[in-house]
Amino acid sequence: MNSDSPSRIYYTKPSITELEIGYATDAATNGWGEHCYDYIHRFEAMFRAHLGVKHAIATSSATGALHIGMAAMGIGAGDEVVLGDINWIASAAPIIYLGATPVLVDVLADSWCLDPAAVEASITPNTRAILAVHLYGNLCDMQALRDIGKRHGIPVIEDAAEAIGSVWHGQRAGSMGIFGAFSFHGTKTVTAGEGGIFVTNDDALYEKALTLSNHGRARGETRQFWPAMIGFKYKMSNMQAAIGCGQMERIEELMAGKRRVFDYYHDALRGLPLRMNPEPSGTTNGYWMPTIVVDHDVQFDREELLAKLKAQNIDGRVFFWPLSSLGLFKAISSHRVSDSLSRRAINLPSYHDMTKADLERVVSVLRPLLKKI
């Protein structure tokens, strides 16, 4: 880009204020010795209160939170975990870490999340869990999935890494399964720079996860450096948690910013041959990543659209690929929805404080191209 090019519109970036900077500075200055966990404990308490759950363990990533939670459930070699084919690899990786098998099923065309009928059809005697990933803030059908789980004696895990702000009939995403996992990566609605969190209402699972999260050292163990089992080290740092505390104080503002951006796109793109993130009756979509899915019966060149955005110094982002198409898992040709979605969709720029002018620039590229098809 030359010096006369318009300023870059990023696909996402965090909203950081003097509040977060002040807390991070305090953690760097004073958060040592007996104070080295102060912000971590505060952050966990704030997130528990926001979500309405009993327990939370701050981690270095949502991947770590999933790994700890699945390990605490005893998932291991020979076990199967069902999840949607359209996903980022981080949802499947912890299953592999534990020696279990991800069972990939197709997703629904409207929510882009798990198809309950496909889930039920995939259950075998080896199925140990259903992993409900709330993609881009869209919600899985938690009632249907929990009903399936209840019939078969299989728990539902929630990967809510992208779903801060999403609510299913009065219950926040991540609070409804046997455990939930969230991400605070720099791209997320609430960030700590990096990091994640494990949450649950199950007391026994929490105690096992807590022990695993601290190198296998059980709470209440009086002997120093005495692990009861082999555990993990996925701890969030105090400085990350300090930034997270500032974000949690601003969480209503941050969630509102995401909705404002989505609402603008939704109104501005009305009438074009596409669909966006759904918000079924009784739910709230956190709209982490506003996404367009062009209708399947029209011609659409995703690369052309991304190139036109790039020419105007605007970021676009491809939709997740089906995991079965990556060469890391068995290829599955029958997942027509997953395969079709990945070719017809892109994520739009969506950081909290995008201006009206920024949004107008994005729409000015989208509308002319999509009107032609």
pLDDT tens readout for residues 169-223: 999 999 999 999 999 999 999 999 999 999 999 999 999 999 999 999 999 999 9
pLDDT band at 372 (very low <50, low <70, confident <90, very high): low
| Residue 36 three-state SS | coil
Residues linked to residue 193 through DSSP beta bridges, in sequence order: 185
Quote the distance between the C-alpha of residue 217 and its chain's center.
29
Give the per-residue pLDDT at 6: 87
Please give the DSSP secondary-structure letter assigned to residue 19: H
Question: Both tokens of residue 360?
Answer: 């107008």
Residues 6+ apart with CB under 8 A from 282: 168, 169
Task: Using alpha carbons only, give the angle 279, 65, 79 rounded to the nearest 5 degrees.
Answer: 95
CA distance 304 to 194: 32
Class of domain 18-249: alpha beta
Give the per-residue pLDDT at 3: 55
Give the per-residue pLDDT at 334: 92
Q: What mean pLDDT is predicted for residues 343-351?
A: 95
% of the chain beyond a pLDDT of 90: 94
Residues in the chain: 373
Which pTM value belongs to this model? Answer: 0.95
Report strand pairing: 156-159 vs 127-133.
Answer: parallel
Give the per-residue pLDDT at 284: 98
Task: For residue 19, count CB atoms less than 10 angstroms from its CB and return exposed for 0-12, middle for 13-18, buried for 19 or more.
Answer: middle
Give the per-residue pLDDT at 371: 78
CATH code of the region 251-371: 3.90.1150.10
Please give the DSSP secondary-structure letter assigned to residue 11: S
Give the per-residue pLDDT at 2: 55
Give the per-residue pLDDT at 370: 86
CA distance 291 to 285: 12
Domain map (residue ranges) of the chain? 18-249, 251-371
Q: Which residue has the tokens 């990945």?
A: 342
Nearest to 249 by CA among 45, 56, 36: 45
**For all residues of the chain together, what is the average pLDDT?**
96
Please give the DSSP secondary-structure letter assigned to residue 114: B
**Helical pair 62-73 and 203-213, crossing angle rounded to 10 deg:** 120
CA distance 282 to 280: 6
Decide if pLDDT at 291 tops 70.
yes
Decide if pLDDT at 248 tops 70.
yes
Give the per-residue pLDDT at 258: 97
Decide if pLDDT at 347 tops 80.
yes
With contact defined as beta carbons under 8 Å apart, do 205 and 179 qualify?
yes
Tens digit of each residue's pLDDT (9 = 90 or more) over 38-84: 999 999 999 999 999 999 999 999 999 999 999 999 999 999 999 99
Distances (CA, A) of 135 to 4, 74, 113, 166, 208: 37, 26, 6, 11, 28
With contact defined as beta carbons under 8 Å apart, do 239 and 24 qualify?
yes
Tens digit of each residue's pLDDT (9 = 90 or more) over 72-94: 999 999 999 999 999 999 999 99
Tens digit of each residue's pLDDT (9 = 90 or more) over 107-160: 999 999 999 999 999 999 999 999 999 999 999 999 999 999 999 999 999 999
